[in-house]
Structure 1
Amino acid sequence: MSNYDALTLKLSLREKFAYGMGDFGSNLMLCIGTLYLLKFYTDELGMPAYYGGIIFLVAKFFTAATDMFTGVLLDSRRNIGAKGKFRPFILYASFPVALVATAQFLATEFPLVVKTVLATALFMLFGLFYSLMNCSYGAMVPAITKNPHERAQLAAWRQGGATLGLLLCTVAFIPIKSLITWSSSAGYLLTALLFSLCGLFSMWWCFRGVKERYIQVLPEGHKPGILKSFCAIFNNPPLLVLCIANLCTLAAFNIKLAIQVYYTQYVLNDIHLLSWMGFFSMGCILIGVLLVPASVRRFGKKQVYLGGLFLWAAGDLLNFFWGSTSVLFVAFSCVAFFGTAFVNSLNWALVPDTVEYGEWKTGIRAEGSVYTGYTFSRKISAALAGFLPGIMLTQIGYIPNIAQSSGTLMGLRQLMFIWPGGLAVIAALTMSLFYKLNEQRFASIIEELSQRKKFTEEQENLNSKEKVSTVNI
């Protein structure tokens, strides 16, 4: 296929939908832990909040390493079968992800130390299998299409799927759990099982519906490794800037998700408001996701990304100062989450562009190393985002299932709005000042890569003819 054909190839709506189902399924299994696992630890297992923070910190640092391992594994593949380079991991790793995601909500009567060790081990095991599944899913985009607009659409479909998964977890988890009246801990377990099964079938749908068209293997003699995955970050300036910005945005997003269940219960005195907030704010995210492709075509990825960060920070600051009622809380949350739609969608649209940049700069195309180098920064961010709420809940004096003090309530408000809003501002400054890979430069890089490939093929053909002539002589 020519360079022009590759850059203009249009994907079918069916394939885009299938790709979106991948992040819908993975988020069903991931977000039940992000949203409710800390509360399960504190309220059902009786752990101190800082124990939960330490569990998140240890397990997420471990899964950051497993992401790098996944990148090495993907780039090491030589014998690519009919299922492709990335799709087999989506198929085979999704089952243990669903199994462990459910097992994390199993309440036991063990001593606190044993509970903590078991919870840490399960969280680490979840991270291992989730890395194999989700890193392969994300790294697959350059193999699906080279068209930058189609990549932006895939990112939008991915974010749409992720948003729907998060929406269902936010809106439906607590009401479904509440239907199981005989045991609160059984409610957590059975609801987690339901969400995990739905996530599993969604991942299988993604596997069947997408196609890898541009499969490349690393040249002989190039051995991928963990160190090279780090080098993929530091030798690739656009990727490094994106990692730093993403470190801020993902930490902000995960802190907000972890704290919102406490905030609605103790500050607004209505835990069921979480479902309403989730319904309206995730609806705003879906609207934002639908607007991403058209916005990118008109303004470019970087400008749309920065606009999303501005809305995010503005919504959080408005909520901190004036979101004292349920209506205003939901309204300002909608503004912030509408902004996150553009940010989170374009995080995934920008990463594939850095693959071509890395190939252009180094001569080596390594989707796995680039993508997992990027997800390494996301896991470090998630580790901090999981650690900080647990530690801060202890610092502000949180005690489960009682009326909280005024100092604790102010601490919850700061964790919910000031920290995420501040991190969004830092991300905006980072991208604004240092990210230089715009659409025009990307197009020139693709053209130069095409010319290099054409030249290499001509040289190989010439060498082949010379060998034939030598044999004939």
Structure 2
Amino acid sequence: MHINTTVPESLKKDKFGMGIGGFGYNLAAAGIMTYLTLFYTDNMLISAASVSMILFVSRIIDACTDLLVGTLVDRTKTKWGKARPWLLWMAVPAALSLSATYFVPAFSDTGRVVYAFITYNLMAFFFQTAIALPLQSLVALITPDPKHRLHLSQLYGFFTTAGAVLVNFFATPIMQALGGGSRGYFLYFTITGIIGLFLILVCFKLTTERTESSEGPIQEKIPVSEGIKIVMRNRYWWNALGIYLMTSLVPACWAATAYYCIYWLNGGVDVGVLMSMLWGGITVGIILFAPVSQKLGKMPSAAIGLGMQALGSVLLWLAPTSIPMLWVSTAFRSLGVGGLSGNMNAMLAEVADYGEWKFGKRTEGLVYSGASFGGKVGSGIGGAVVAGLLAWGQYVPNAPTQAPLAMNAIKIAFVGAPFIGSSLIIIMLLFFNVEKKMPQIRKDLEERKAKAQAQTL
């Protein structure tokens, strides 16, 4: 297999491709975070306790499959590279599984729980693992240049959040136009899934993998056991694992947004509009924090943003029924997330570089899958926390009002849990200092690569 390692000066085509891929992915995925829990409790009529169990167990299973797919990506050798072909192979099954997730079968109560468990796990594997992991890995594989990587990561984050803004803003009116209820959910997310996966195929077409191992253009396949050992010995991988876990837990708690809008705000704010503002703020935050990241570094920029998010949660906790305060809080919470989300993929690329520098083997697939493992566990915990709190509060589906205990459960899920998560991430960032070591690491890797290439001549 030959991969073109010449890096164009601007990478305009690749950057556009990554932006399109991120936009397409979240055009299909963002609705899972916002609407799936509400869909399960109020449309599929599954109890909150059962939803909590489905989400938690499924995410643990999904997290384990990340390591499998990451290993397979590292061992994939094609004319397209090792990550890009997965976008091509998995597009159709991902779209089908996403559509099936929002279908309500005419089954018994137990049958619907089993159906939800099976379809959720199929969707999670094909879409949130076999598509998401290779797509994110491309940041490290398109170029070894740190500035280009940061720009790719920020563009990916920007367009990912833009896709979420679009799919959430139009969700309520379009679902109503498509018939509302279960039919509206099914048709809307079938359409967004097809469009999103088509855009991911465009990403496949426009991007090129160029990053080689320091072993040279021909790198032997790394045995699975050896690859796992290398990643497990990478101290920054463990750090990234924890950061991804908590980073995914925070937005997973946004599954409580619909309940908060309905019961705390008495329907005064549409859930789709609020989620669009949250995602839109993240999009703007990525732009605003880009120069901060370049000047101060990725981790200080992320810590500042997370501090803003924590402050926004405190403000809303103090005035939970105030719509003006909701918008102020949303601005702080969403802009702050942009300080972290625009840097995440570039951060993992540095973890992969450190692992190659330290242990002599390049394992992007396992590095990204390991971080995704943490993200899936965090998302599972977050989703289970929301559903579990609803069960603890004795939430009644489709009721005009809820008991005080249920109201407190919704408030804790939507406001309290994100505050705790943001605070913990700030602490973890204090130990993630690999960025300071990167100039020497890149210098050493380039010297090794040049030596390996000279030996093949």
User: TM-score of the superposition, structure 2-length normalised?
Assistant: 0.93
Deviations along 1:90-125, one digit per CA (max 9) or x if unpaired, are 122122111111111111221111111111111111
| Letter paired with 1:241 | N
CA contact (8 A) 1:251 1:382 kept: yes
1:267 corresponds to which of 255, 260, 264? 264
Deviations along 1:117-148, one digit per CA (max 9) or x if unpaired, are 11111111111212111111111222201111
Q: How far apart are residue 357 of structure 1 and its match?
A: 0.2
Asked if 1:223 corresponds to 2:223, the answer is yes
Deviations along 1:410-449, one digit per CA (max 9) or x if unpaired, are 22111111111111101101111x11212x4101101011
Please say which structure displays the higher CA radius of gyration.
1
Q: How far apart are residue 296 of structure 1 and its match?
A: 1.6
1:441 corresponds to which of 437, 452, 455? 437
Aligned to 1:60: 59
Alignment size in residue pairs: 448
CA contact (8 A) 1:75 1:218 kept: no
Deviations along 1:323-377, one digit per CA (max 9) or x if unpaired, are 4211211221121011111112212220001111000100111111111111111
Deviations along 1:167-211, one digit per CA (max 9) or x if unpaired, are 123211122112234x51111111111211221221112111111
Partner Cα distance (2:8, 2:234) in 1: 27
CA contact (8 A) 2:56 2:380 kept: yes
Partner Cα distance (1:14, 1:293) in 2: 20
Partner Cα distance (2:193, 2:269) in 1: 22
Deviations along 1:21-72, one digit per CA (max 9) or x if unpaired, are 1121111222222211111111111110111111111221111121111111
SS at 1:132's partner residue?
coil
Aligned to 1:471: none
Query: Using a 3 Å threshold, how does the CA distance of structure 1 residues 32 and 106 change in structure 2: closer, same or farther?
Result: same
Asked if 1:90 corresponds to 2:116, the answer is no
Query: Using a 3 Å threshold, how does the CA distance of structure 1 residues 214 and 401 change in structure 2: closer, same or farther?
Result: same
Q: How far apart are residue 381 of structure 1 and its match?
A: 1.0
Aligned to 1:396: 393
- Further displaced range: 316-325 or 280-289: 280-289
CA contact (8 A) 1:281 1:330 kept: no
1:237 corresponds to which of 235, 238, 241? 235
Aligned to 2:189: 192
Aligned to 2:408: 410
Partner Cα distance (2:16, 2:132) in 1: 17
Partner Cα distance (2:221, 2:144) in 1: 26
Partner Cα distance (2:35, 2:206) in 1: 31
Query: Using a 3 Å threshold, how does the CA distance of structure 1 residues 280 and 388 change in structure 2: closer, same or farther?
Result: closer
2:447 corresponds to which of 446, 451, 461? 451
Tell me how large the CA RMSD over aligned residues is: 2.0
Aligned to 2:209: 212
Provide structure 2 residue ranges, at least 5 long, that are not aligned to the other structure.
Answer: none
Q: How far apart are residue 215 of structure 1 and its match?
A: 4.4
| Letter paired with 1:220 | E
| Letter paired with 1:417 | V
Alignment of 1:139-154 (within 5 A): 139-154=137-152
Alignment of 1:62-461 (within 5 A): 62-78=61-77, 80-81=78-79, 83-130=80-127, 131-181=129-179, 184-216=181-213, 219-220=219-220, 222-225=222-225, 228-229=227-228, 231-255=229-253, 257-270=254-267, 272-402=269-399, 403-432=401-430, 434-438=431-435, 440-458=436-454
Partner Cα distance (1:459, 1:327) in 2: 66
Q: How far apart are residue 254 of structure 1 and its match?
A: 0.9
Query: Using a 3 Å threshold, how does the CA distance of structure 1 residues 125 and 279 change in structure 2: closer, same or farther?
Result: closer
Percent identical among aligned pairs is 24
| Letter paired with 1:393 | L
Partner Cα distance (1:307, 1:233) in 2: 29
Asked if 1:40 corresponds to 2:39, the answer is yes
Query: Using a 3 Å threshold, how does the CA distance of structure 1 residues 271 and 52 change in structure 2: closer, same or farther?
Result: farther
Q: How far apart are residue 282 of structure 1 and its match?
A: 2.7
Partner Cα distance (2:348, 2:147) in 1: 13
CA contact (8 A) 1:356 1:445 kept: yes
Query: Using a 3 Å threshold, how does the CA distance of structure 1 residues 220 and 261 change in structure 2: closer, same or farther?
Result: same
- Further displaced range: 10-19 or 41-50: 10-19
CA contact (8 A) 1:309 1:428 kept: yes
| Letter paired with 1:28 | L
Partner Cα distance (2:319, 2:135) in 1: 40
- Further displaced range: 276-285 or 399-408: 276-285
